[in-house]
Amino acid sequence: MVLRRLLVLLLVSPLPLWAANPVVQEFTLGNGLKILVQEDHRAPVVISQVWYKVGASNEHGGITGISHMLEHMMFKGTRKHSAGEFSRIIAANGGRENAFTGQDYTAYFQSLEKSRLPVSFELEADRMRNLNLLESEFAKEHQVVLEERRLRTDDQPRAKMEEHFEAVAYSNSPYQNPVVGWPDDVAGLTLDDLKQWYQLWYAPNNATLVVVGDVNPQEVHAPRSFMVP
């Protein structure tokens, strides 16, 4: 009986405006960074994502897989934070983080308690403009990516078949290239290749910041030094 009454109360109680009509608010900073914010006050947490408009479809023969390779290197330190420090700081603040690459994008995200959102902003701003690409870190991560390709594609008959199918289906399109890259191209990537790719695509006017959670959109948009070169 108590459960039934509770269900009735939930059904007849009006939802707050933000829950009944979820609205995404959009802002653009002076440096070109687009910001999308959606309020969700069900829990005191926030998800912050930075999406760069670059992925496998932007690559050409000889450097396929470079967007994915750079995604790995984005965790290898800046002039301010050493390799691994980014993940350590997020974990110390009770959060989690990761990244992923697709045909048309590369994205990085953090999940944190709402008061820790500035931590995410500071770290993403730092590695957007101050990534420290070192040969020693590249040499290690290069082998990690090559092994990832072997495990997920070369040793998986279905994945291998799908890769060849897409190469034929999109024979006249950059979508023929796998996100992880073709083996010879990945093996031939150099640190200079990554530096050029980073300088070409990683900038505020080629990125979108998405914030969803227990936040006030106007406060997220409030003037700040976020991602200003």
Under 8 Å between Cβ of 181 and 149 = yes
200's tokens: 């070409």
- Distance CA(163)–CA(177), nearest Å, equals 8
What are the start-end ranges of the H helices in the chain? 2-12, 17-20, 66-73, 85-92, 117-129, 135-149, 157-169, 183-188, 191-201, 217-221
Q: How many helices (H) and strands (E) does the chain have?
A: 10, 6
Which of these, 96, 48, 99, lies nearest to 69 by C-alpha position? 99
User: Which of helix, strand or coil describes residue 50?
Assistant: strand
Cα separation, 34 vs 52, in Å, equals 11
135 is catalytic: no
Pick the catalytic residue from 26, 39, 59, 71. 71
The alpha carbon dihedral of 55, 78, 223, 25 has a sign of positive
- Please give the Cα distance from 177 to 61 (Å, whole number): 9
Residue 170 pairs in a beta bridge with none
Q: Supply the residues annotated as catalytic.
A: 71
